[in-house]
Structure 1
Amino acid sequence: MESPEVPILRALKDHAQAGQSLAVLEHGKAETVELSYSDLRSNVQAISASIRALLSKKSDALPRHVAFFVHPSAAYVVTELSIWAADGVCVPLSVHSPVPELEYFVKDSESCLCLSDASGAPKMKEVAGKLSRPFAEIAKATESSKAYRLLVDGGPVSPAEQPGCFSCFCGLFSSRSDVLSQNALILYTSGTTGQPKGVVHTFNSLTAQMRSLSEAWKWSSKDRTLHVLPLHHIHGVQNILNTALFNGAAVELTAFDAAFCLKRLASGDITCFHAVPTVYVKFTQYLDSLPADARQAICSGLRNDSMRYMVSGSAALPVPTMKSWAEISGHVLLERYGMTEIGMALSNRVAGTRYPGCVGWPLPGVEVKQDQEGGILVKGAAVFKEYYKRQEATAKEFTEDGFFRTGDNAARGGSVEECQAMQDDAREVEASTGRPRADTTTAPEPALAAIYRILGRTSVDIIKSGGYKISGLEIESVLLQHDKIRECAVVGKPDETWGEKVTAVCVLQSGAALTIKELREWGKERMASYKVPQELEIVTELPRNQMGKLEKKKILQRYGAK
């Protein structure tokens, strides 16, 4: 009798047998690689057998964790699915990590096997050598082939023989009867509160995330997405890649290049696109550099009827960015809220009004509430299992009734006047698209009483100054309306008198100059006096991580904050 199947692998099998065509299209520098679902299935059959052979020789002291250092590509997709098909646990690593970081991740996750593609081989092979782990490289069988193979010391790995009950799909059924509750994926946090921790997701939590997003964002086999995000983050690996494959959709993988990506988005081929605010800013800057006729051609293309939605996530979306992109593309960006530990928890709606500055309502299967301080608490099948080998840290982040403490503060709903303002803001952005909705109702919709607005991380975005609790994100959204400010971060600078001083760290527009006196006079006309920055620092750039998130802790460290 066959044991339970891994849902995403079952989906792969079904899509291949149904004749679903394109699965992955990799836009590489030297070549384009195109895999159908049948091609992908064949590769997973072969590579999983080779991984099984390598895992059969592992030390009994180490779990079946496989660390892989593979750039976003068809090879990445084959690697991830093959590890699962071989009853392994995926530990995807950042392709930007130096050797010491990689060594930490492999050691901390207790990975028993290290894999990489050719470009990552020098680093990963060094790490494997230092930690006495076996190393293998994934590569195409021939330059023109669609088949991949694993190489050890330049030679192919001999595949392990599969038990008879697996012959129908060569290892795509797990031999574990409790497969759904078993560990599947370990993603590392950014380490803003100490050393990075391994966030453990099971097949249950991953499947719950994919099903929730499939329902909320209406994914189907007709979708085709352009993928430009890193694949060691929840946004890139789960929201886009795995959810697309789960639904039989097509994924185009490419390194971010504004010109190329805009060309694809304007082609009419792409139905949904996920990015971070920085990507939309770079799109805008690129378009502004073009001659008027070339710019207009792209903007017209972006208004095609094929594009269902565009997402902005992983960092706060400034309202000016949302509005400018609406004017350029004819699309109102869809904001959502989530994190490594919970997948996605809140989202604006695909069909319906999207509200600037808001991250929407709980997604299907997700329960959200707030603590007395306004902190967001999340519960549901999509929530992670644990921080790997950190029982105390895990227990600390859960309430007695099983809710995960996200560390983010939010406001929910608002007064009648505040809801009216949200409605007005939404209509203003919609009007910027040039194709607002036909609905002319002016009264706020009842659901606004329960919509969420993120105020920021408890530790870095919430400023306590002179007895007030202030949202740095809220002030940033106002400052970005200043015609001299291009980017900004608002933090609480330690101060003996105020506790923390509201401090604006700004990148100015080219050739602009700004004083704190000018900023305060301007700010007092737009926000409460206690929210107006007390200090101003002008910088050439703000510290950001790979996902475009502001690294405010680095700013605070300069001010001596702990």
Structure 2
Amino acid sequence: MNVEMLTTDFLDRAVDLYSDVVGVVSHEGTEYTYAEFADRVNQVSNALLEMGVEQGDRVALLSPNTHYFLETLYGTNQIGAVFVPMNYLLTPDDFDYILNDCEASVVIADYDYAHNIEPVRDEVPAEHFVGYRADDIDGEWTDYEEWIGAQSTSAPERPDIDEDDDASVNYTSGTTGDPKGVVRTHRTEQWHALILNQHMEISDDDTYLWTLPMFHCNGWGHTYAITGTGGTHVCQRTFDAESTLRRVREHDVSFLCGAPTVLNRLVSYIEENPDVETTGDRDVRIATAGSAPATATITTVEDEIGWRIIHIYGLTETAPVITTSNSPRRLAERGRNLKVSQGSEALCTDVRVVDDDGNDVPNDNGTIGEIVVQGNQVMDRYLNKAEATHEAFNAKRPGYFHTGDLATIDEDGMITIQDRQKDIIISGGENVSSIEVEDVLYDHPDIAKAAVIPTPSEEWGEAVTALIVQKPGAGLTIEAVKEFAGERLARYKIPKVVEFVDELPETATGKIQKYQLRQEYWEDEERLVGQG
């Protein structure tokens, strides 16, 4: 039997089996059973249809971790429209680019972030702007609760949706600075969630706390996996250690996610508050990705906080999960240090490390190659970027997605990232294009040359670091550089470290040798990528 794999299957199952279970707890504490949540999803669908949204149209959302993020996702997908979650840390110029690139017909925004849409709303194709708590937003916005409140809770008639139809577009930083829209189909999203379910050990009695931003690969698939399995979503708008621990206790949370930066902030908070309770009645596990957590961090989280760490690896283009070190068999054999590696391939996923000719490198844990992957969870394409799509799937080994991450692989198939081929910095779990930051710095009238590289950081894994040669007679300060960058870049892209140098190493053709610069900063590290 061949049945279409659709994102709508997850909420349908939750309503069929868990209609009376609390499915979603809002940031403010309002509880919705899955039946009540589905009613609100239907209202979102009906409101979109009344606005004229048709199958294939894009609906963009700018929101932190909220109940209405989940409502908008399902409400969009069940009418065959395409969900476009946006990173709330971006700038108006970024949103201008994204909304034009995806040709969004509707924009829904949170009251804390809508001010970054307002300056560009006349420049984008969207005709409808809906705001959560619209009274708190400057400009003309339709209030979200009034918008859905006027609609029936009856399920709309669903169009014929094919599993290969677009379900979502997730934007990621490009190496040239322009964001790339990662197109994910209903089929890839469903595979994504099923693989996640297996490796995150999700069950119907799980209570999942949203500390990971929902916009990241649709929350790494937990928007689907937790729902379809019948667990409970507890929404927390953004991460802070005190609120996270309070919600863990109050809601008896069993599962959450966070980049190594989140782990480090939790460790710091508990060191300052040693008597705080870190669990409810149940054991807690936390999944982490981005840069590998440091061994000391793993030890502290597992031994002192009492949470079990699951380390995964992937990219926006791969859903993200393509490897995990969550292997009880290997952990028993090799110990906790295994968790600093990216681990072995996920279920139904073919992950290889290849040389420049596309051949597998030896499984000797020493030879470095690029990670490439085949899997049903891998993206369909980059939106409006046919050339970049072709390159991503054909650069060295045709038919495999090329990650740009350089790694070794051992006799057990365990992969450990050593370096990056792409000009990307992963700082606090966010991807930063070093070229984009350099382009901004070169706009400063007193900067002659600039190189932006990752440097080791205990807090961030990798710190965005700017090495700057000033023009003769200039008197720049570190604060002035950061302020200049801050006026033009999202907060997480602003250099955390600024150093003034007399010169930068260059090739004979005048290209800055960033690899040499990176080696100078990473010479005491085991690898050229961060461990938070």
User: How high is the TM-score relative to the length of structure 2?
Assistant: 0.72
Q: Which runs of 5+ in 1 are unaligned?
A: 143-149, 162-166, 415-448, 463-471, 507-519, 534-543, 551-562
Structure 1 residues 138, 392: closer, same or farther in 2, change over 3 A? same
Q: Is 1:11 aligned to 2:10, yes or no?
A: yes
Partner AA of 1:409 in structure 2: L
Aligned counterparts of 2:271 and 2:285: Cα–Cα separation in 1: 23
Change in Cα spacing, 1:79 to 1:126, as seen in structure 2 (3 Å) is farther
Aligned pairs (5 A) from 1:310-389: 310-343=286-319, 344-349=321-326, 351-352=328-329, 353=331, 354=336, 355-373=338-356, 374-389=369-384
Distance verdict in 2 for CA 1:51–1:486, change over 3 Å: closer
Secondary structure, counterpart of 2:7 in structure 1? helix
Aligned to 2:420: 457
Residues 291 and 461 in structure 2, CA contact (< 8 A), matched pair in contact too: no
Q: Work out the number of aligned pairs and report it.
A: 434
Give the structure 1 partner of residue 232 of structure 2: 250
Instruction: Give the partner amino acid of 1:189.
Output: T
Alpha-carbon separation, structure 1, partners of 2:114 and 2:163: 32
How far 1:503 moved relative to its partner?
A: 4.7
Determine the structure 2 residue equivalent to 1:24.
24
Paired position in structure 1 for 2:173: 190
Amino-acid identity (%) = 20
Distance apart, 1:367 and its partner CA: 0.8
Aligned partners of 1:281 and 1:82: how far apart in 2? 36
Q: 1:158: how far off?
A: 10
The AA in structure 1 aligned to 2:21 is S
1:229 corresponding residue in structure 2: 212
Deviations 1:86-128 (A, max 9, x none): 2110111122222221111100112122222344444435433
Task: Work out whether residues 272 and 308 of structure 1, in 8 Å CA contact, stay in contact via their aligned partners in 2.
Answer: yes
Measured at CA, do residues 98 and 502 of structure 1 come closer, stay the same or move farther in structure 2, by a change above 3 Å? Answer: closer
Offset, 1:384: 0.4
Cα gap change, 1:140 to 1:102, in 2 (>3 Å): closer
> Is structure 2 residue 131 aligned with structure 1 residue 131?
no
Distance change in 2, residues 1:208/1:488 (3 Å)? closer
Distance 1:332 1:413, change over 3 A: farther
Instruction: Provide the C-alpha distance between the structure 2 equivalents of 1:253 and 1:342, rounded to a whole number of angstroms.
Output: 25
Show CA shifts across 1:256-302 (max 9, x none).
Answer: 12112123335681111211101111111112222xxxx1442xx44
Alignment of 1:394-543 (within 5 A): 394-399=389-394, 401-413=398-410, 449-459=412-422, 494=505, 500-501=516-517, 503=519
Task: State the partner residue of 1:175.
Answer: 160
Q: Does structure 1 retain, via aligned residues, the 8 Å contact 2:193–2:224? A: yes
Whether contact under 8 Å (2:40, 2:148) holds in the other structure is no
Amino acid aligned to 1:345: I
Alignment check: 8 A CA contact 1:309 1:350 kept: no
Does the residue aligned with 2:209 lie in a helix, a strand or coil?
Answer: strand
Distance 2:102 2:407 in 1: 33
Structure 1's 194 and 549: CA in aligned 2 closer, same or farther, altered over 3 A?
Answer: farther
Gaps of 5+ in 2: 136-140, 357-368, 426-452, 468-503
Cα distance in 2, alignment partners of residues 356 and 157 from structure 1: 45
Structure 1 counterpart SS, 2:26: strand
Task: State the Cα distance separating 1:8 from its structure 2 match.
Answer: 3.3
Q: TM-score, normalised by structure 1?
A: 0.68
**1:356 is aligned with what amino acid?**
K
Aligned residue among 188, 205, 230 for 2:188: 205
**Greater radius of gyration (CA):** 1
Is contact 1:490–1:503 with CA below 8 Å preserved after alignment? no
Query: Could you tell me how far apart the structure 2 residues matched to 1:50 and 1:24 are?
Result: 21
* SS in structure 2 of the partner of residue 112 of structure 1: strand
CA distances 1:21-46 after superposition (whole Å, capped 9, x unpaired): 1111122xxx3222211111101111
Deviation at 1:211, TM superposition (A): 0.7
**C-alpha distance 8-182 of structure 1, shift in aligned 2 (>3 A):** closer
Q: 1:153 to 1:368 in 2, by over 3 A?
A: closer
Taking CA–CA contacts closer than 8 Å with sequence separation of 6 or more, which of the two structures ends up with the larger relative contact order? Answer: 2
Q: Cα distance 1:459–1:120, how it changes in 2: closer, same or farther (>3 A)?
A: closer
Aligned partners of 1:11, 1:153: CA distance in 2, in Å? Answer: 24
Post-superposition CA distance 1:536-561 (Å, at most 9, x none): xxxxxxxx9xxx999xxxxxxxxxxx
Q: Corresponding residue for 2:74?
A: 81
**Residue identity opposite 1:16 in structure 2:** V
Alpha-carbon deviation of 1:6? 6.2
RMSD between aligned residues = 3.9
501 and 248 in structure 1: CA distance in 2 versus 1, 3 angstrom threshold? same
1:393 maps to a residue whose letter is: A
The C-alpha deviation readout for 1:469-501, integer Å capped at 9, x for no partner, is xxx99x95xx97xxxx99776999746699725
- Whole-Å Cα distance in 1 between the matches of residues 190 and 294 of structure 2? 31
The SS at the match of 1:397 is helix
Is contact 1:274-1:311 (8 Å) kept? yes
Contact 1:66 1:111 in 2 (8 A): yes
2:35 maps to 38
Q: For residue 382 of structure 1, report the CA deviation from its aligned partner.
A: 0.6
Whether 2:97 is the aligned partner of 1:104: answer yes
User: Structure 2: which amino acid aligns with 1:271?
Assistant: S
Query: 2:210 and 2:178 mapped to 1: Cα distance?
Result: 29
Amino acid at match of 1:248: G
**Contact 1:5/1:174 (<8 A) preserved:** no
Q: C-alpha offsets along residues 494-539 of structure 1, whole Å, 9 cap, x if unaligned?
A: 4669972555559xxxxxxxxxxxxx9xx5xx97xxx9x9xxxxxx
Structure 2: which amino acid aligns with 1:17? Answer: D
Contact 1:115 1:138 in 2 (8 A): yes
User: Partners of 2:111 and 2:424 in 1: how far apart?
Assistant: 41
CA distance in 2, matches of 1:151, 1:6: 34
Q: Please tell me whether the aligned partners of residues 371 and 402 of structure 2 are also in contact (alpha carbons under 8 angstroms).
A: yes
Cα distance change on mapping 1:289 and 1:196 into 2, 3 Å: same
Contact 1:240 1:274 in 2 (8 A): no
AA of the residue aligned to 1:40: F
**Does the 8 A contact of 2:24 with 2:32 survive in 1?**
yes
Structure 1: distance between partners of 2:424 and 2:144: 49
Distance 1:130 1:191, change over 3 A: same
CA contact (8 A) 1:490 1:502 kept: no
Structure 2 counterpart of 1:239: 221
